[in-house]
Amino acid sequence: MAFNFEVLKQDAATGARLGKIVTAHGEVSTPVFMPVGTQATVKAMLPETLKELGAGMILSNTYHLYLRPGHQLIRDLGGLHRFMHWEGPILTDSGGFQVFSLGALRKISPEGVLFQSHIDGSRHFLSPELAVSIQEALGSDIMMCLDECTPYPATHRQAEDSLELTLQWADRSRAARRRSVQALFGIVQGGMYLDLRKKSVEALTAMAFDGYALGGVSVGEPKDSMMAVVAETAPLLPYDRPRYLMGVGTPEDIVRCVGHGIDMFDCVMPTRSARNGLLFTNQEKVVIKHARYREDPLPIDSQCDCYTCRNYSRAYLRHLYMAGEILAMILNTIHNVRHYLALMERIRDAIRADRYPAFQEHFFNTQRMTGKDTLA
C-alpha cells in the first residue's frame, strides 16, 4: 500500500490538525507521538504492551542498527518489523543526529560523514545514499534524509553553510531512493535563523518529499527560540504533507506545537524519565524516590487507566525503585508511555470537537496550579 496523508480537520482557531497517515503496515491517527525504540526495542516494553497502550507508530535508529546488528542481517531475517515483532508502522531516522553527537569522533565533508563507532572505535563512512540504502534494507515505513544537525549556538554563516550541505544531501537522498512504498521525509534546518528556515522550506518543498521534519531543535537553545522556529516555519510547509518535529519533547512542548500545526513527535523523555524514576501525571510530576511516597497507597495518577495505575501503589513503586528491581523500570515505563499516548488522544478529541484553544488553556492552567517537580 502506498504512503498517504490526509488532513481530516483543522481547528478553527489554531493551526492544530487532525489527520491520518496510511502506510503498508497500517494507519496512524495524527497528531501522533512515537515512542523511541532506538535499537529495535522500546526499552522495558513488549511490542504487545505498546500496542495495548495505544502506540500507533514507533521510531528506530539507523545509526545504531547499522552498527549493531547490521542492516543486512535485519534484511535477511525479514526486515525490521519481523525482526522486532512489531506489526505497526516504523519511522527510522537517518543517523544524522547521532553522528552529530559524536563530536570529535566524526568528520563531515560534502561527500558524507566519516566517524568512529562508539561501540568499538571502528571507522565508518555514512553518505546520504548509504543512509537511504540502510533504511530500505530495514524496511521502515518512513525514512529520513541524512542531514547535518546545526549546532547551537551557531553564527548565521555557520548555519547557512550547514543548511547548504543538508540541502545537497537531501537531493542526493531523493535520487538514491529505490522503494516508493517507503516514504522519504526531508529535514528543515537553518538553526535559529528564520530566514534560513524559510530558505530550507522553499528548497525542500521543490524536491517534493512525502513529508517534512523540523530538525535542529532541542539542541540546547532557549525554549522561546525553539517555539519561534516552530511557529514561523510549520505554517510554511505544504498543507497536504505530514509535519514532524524531531526530538520534542515535554507534554507542554507537544501541546504548544500541535497548536502550530505539527503532526508528529518523538522523544526519549517518557521512557528515559521512567527509568530514572520521574513519572508524569495530570497533576504534579512524581519523583518516586522521594520519601514522601514511602507509605503512599495511591496510584501514580488516579486519572490514568494504565496497568500500573490500576494495580500498584506509589509505595510499592518506590520500594521497587529503591531496591533496583527491573520491574520498577517496566511499570514506570508503562505509565509514562501511556500518559503520553493518552495526552495525544485527548489532543485529537479536542481538535475533532473544535475546542483546542480551550484544551490548551485548561492544560496550562493545570500546570500552573500544580507546579513542576524535578529529579532533584
CA 366 to chain centre: 25
**57 and 36 Cβ atoms separated by less than 8 Å:** no
Q: Exactly one of 11, 93, 141, 147 is catalytic; name it.
A: 93
Q: Judge whether 150 and 163 are in contact, CB under 8 Å.
A: yes
Please report the DSSP string for 322-358 in residue order: HTT-HHHHHHHHHHHHHHHHHHHHHHHHHHHTT-HHH
Cis previous bond, 153, omega within 30: yes
CA quadruple 202, 204, 205, 206: dihedral positive or negative? positive
Q: How far apart are CA 93 and CA 149, in angstroms?
A: 12
Verify whether residue 11 is a known catalytic residue. no
Reference 216, options 252, 165, 280, 251; nearest CA is 165
Catalytic: which of 11, 147, 266, 301? 266
Label residues 31-56 b or e (16+ Cβ within 10 Å = b): bbbbbbbbebebbbbebebbeebbbb
Give Cα 106 to chain centroid, integer Å.
24
* Known active-site residue 93: yes
Beta carbons of 263 and 30 less than 8 angstroms apart: yes
Supply the residues annotated as catalytic. Answer: 93, 266
